[in-house]
Amino acid sequence: MTGLDEVNYHTLADFRVEKQKELDELFTQVLAALSKEGLLTLEQVMQDGTKIKAQASERARRQQQERLENALQELKKLQERKQGEKAKSKVRVSSSDPQARVMPDSDGGLALSYHAQISADVAHGLIVGVAVTPEVNDYAQVLPAVERVG
């Protein structure tokens, strides 16, 4: 038994968060097997990101208190970071998605979002690294991607 029957997952995101360690290990094992068989070279790797809108809606009541506490912690971190900068913008966080940030979206507006990053082996088109970040721009994601893939 895998233990999946023991927990009632409400969303795929709940499952992913709960099983993050196991999923990371499985991903690493698959990449190692592909590399061993010569199906993955990492001679050339592409990196790109895409913005994904946050849920930003209420979920189960039992999670509300935890989300609010996380939002307050995240707000404090952002306020501390902003104190060292000369930015005049207000710092805001969402109580339902505290790690999400306001980012420009494809239709020219702003939306509470995450920035998903994907690294892929060019020769075979296989994904070799993934991450989700609250950073708005891709340019700061190259070095972390190299560390993930390397």
Measure the CA–CA gap between 116 and 114, rounded to whole angstroms. 6
Mean pLDDT of 93-112: 77
67 in any annotated domain: yes
For the ranges 9-13, 108-112, 113-117, which has the lowest average pLDDT? 9-13
Q: Is the pLDDT of residue 135 over 90?
A: no
pLDDT of residue 1: 43
Q: Is the pLDDT of residue 25 over 80?
A: yes
80: containing domain: 57-99
Measure the CA–CA gap between 134 and 78, rounded to whole angstroms. 12
Identify any residues that bridge with 120 across adjacent strands, giving them in sequence order: 46, 127
77 in any annotated domain: yes
15 in any annotated domain: no
63 in any annotated domain: yes
59-92 pLDDT per residue, tens = 454 466 677 777 778 877 877 777 765 555 565 6
86 in any annotated domain: yes
pLDDT of residue 58: 63
Give the chain's domain count: 1
Could you give the percent of the chain with pLDDT greater than 70? 77
81 in any annotated domain: yes
11 in any annotated domain: no
23 in any annotated domain: no
CA distances in angstroms from 4 to 10, 25, 28, 42, 124, listed in the order given: 12, 17, 21, 34, 33
